[in-house]
Amino acid sequence: MSLIEINNLIKKYNTGNETVLAVNDLSFSIEQNEFVTLLGQSGSGKSTLLTMLGGLAKPTSGKIVVDNIDVYELPSKTIADYRREYIGFVFQSFQLIPYLTVEENISLPLSISDLTNQEQKQLVKLILEKVHLEKKAKRLINELSGGEQQRVAIARALINDPIIILADEPTGNLDCKTSEDIMKIFCELNNDGKTIVMVTHNTAFKKYSHRSIELSDGRLIN
Ligand SMILES: Nc1ncnc2c1ncn2[C@@H]1O[C@H](COP(=O)(O)OP(=O)(O)O)[C@@H](O)[C@H]1O
Ligand SMILES: [Mg+2]
C-alpha cells in the first residue's frame, strides 16, 4: 500500500448561488519518500488538494488514506493529532511571527510538548542545521532575508518530525537564486526520508522531484 492514497476525491465550494468544483474526482497515490511536484494554472485546485491532504479541509466526498489512516473518518480531535504527527506545512508567505526570534518561531509548535527547555534547545539547534541557519537562532524574523525566512518556516514545519511535507508555492516570493537554494533544502529533506508534495508554478523545478502531476480544473492531466 502507498503512503498516501487519494480516492475519488471531490471538493465543492458553495458561495452564494454558485458552486465551484475545485477538485473533481481525483484518484492517485504517493509512495513513501517520494518527492512530487504539483503543477497547474491558478485556480486549478492545487491549494485545495494540499489543504485536504494536510487535514485542514474536509472533502465533499471521496477519501484520503495516509499510512492506512482514513483521515476524514477520524474524530475531529484526532485529526489535529494527525496534522501534528504526519504533516509539516510550508506556505508561500512564510507565516512567521515577525517580533519573535528564529528559535522562538521554530519552537512554537512544541509549546505543549513535554520536552525540557534543554531538550527543546537541542532539537531547535539540530533542525536549524538542517536548513543551514544555525548562526541565526537569536535573530528576529524581520532582520532576515526572504530566503532565510522561508528556511525558518521549513524548520518550523520539521519540529515535530513529520513524515510528509506539504509546500504551497514555497518559492513564489523569492528570486531565482534563492529559490534554487530552497529547492536544494527540500531535496536534502527528501534524502533524509521525508515525503514531499510541493505546489510550484515553475516547471523548471520539476527536475528536483521524482514525479510531477498537473491539475487542470480540478482534474489530473497527462
Ligand atoms: N474558500 C473558497 N471558497 C470558494 N471558492 C474557493 C475557495 N478556495 C478556492 N476556491 C476556488 O476553487 C478553485 C480552486 O482554487 P485553488 O485550490 O486555490 O487553486 P490553485 O491553488 O490551483 O490556484 C478556484 O476556482 C477558487 O476560486
Ligand atoms: Mg494555490
Q: With contact defined as beta carbons under 8 Å apart, do 6 and 56 qualify?
A: no
Residue 175: per-residue pLDDT: 96
Average pLDDT over residues 120-149: 95
Q: What is the pTM of this model?
A: 0.96
Instruction: Locate the ligand 1 atom nearest the alpha carbon of residue 50 and give its number.
Output: 17
Average pLDDT over residues 127-145: 96
Instruction: Locate the ligand 1 atom nearest the alpha carbon of residue 14 and give its number.
Output: 4
Domain CATH number, residue 144: 3.40.50.300
Instruction: Locate the ligand 1 atom nearest the alpha carbon of residue 44 and give its number.
Output: 22
Q: Which three cell numbers stand for residue 204?
A: 523548471
Q: With contact defined as beta carbons under 8 Å apart, do 167 and 197 qualify?
A: yes
Average pLDDT over residues 40-59: 97
**pLDDT tens for each residue of 88-127:** 999 999 999 999 999 999 998 886 678 888 998 899 999 9
Q: Which ligand is nearest to the CA of 18?
A: 1
Instruction: Give me ligand 2 centre to Cα 135, in Å.
Output: 33
Atom 27, ligand 1: which residue's CA is nearest?
43
Atom 8, ligand 1: which residue's CA is nearest?
48
Name the band, by pLDDT with cuts 50, 70 and 90, for residue 183: very high
Share of residues in the chain with pLDDT > 70 (%): 99
**pLDDT tens for each residue of 53-90:** 999 999 999 999 999 999 999 998 899 999 999 999 99
Q: Of 131, 130, 187, 196, which Cα lies nearest the Cα of 165?
A: 196
3-state SS, residue 112:
coil
On the CB side of 182, CA atoms within 13 Å amount to: 31
Average pLDDT over residues 185-198: 98
Q: Of 29, 26, 27, which Cα lies nearest the Cα of 2?
A: 29
Q: Ligand 1: does its nearest atom lie under 6 Å from the Cβ of 15?
A: yes
Q: With contact defined as beta carbons under 8 Å apart, do 57 and 135 qualify?
A: no
Range of the domain at 146: 4-221
- Residue that has been written with the C-alpha cell 482514513 in this structure: 70
Residue 109: per-residue pLDDT: 81
Q: Ligand 1: does its nearest atom lie under 6 Å from the Cβ of 172?
A: no
Count structural domains, the chain: 1
Residue 115: per-residue pLDDT: 86
Q: Dihedrals φ, ψ of 4, to 5°?
A: -120, 125
Q: Which three cell numbers stand for residue 173?
A: 516570493
Residue 222: per-residue pLDDT: 67
Distance from CA of residue 92 to its chain's centroid? 10
Q: Ligand 1: does its nearest atom lie under 6 Å from the Cβ of 46?
A: yes
Residue 50: per-residue pLDDT: 98
Residue 150: per-residue pLDDT: 97
Q: Cα separation of 214 and 39, whole Å?
A: 5
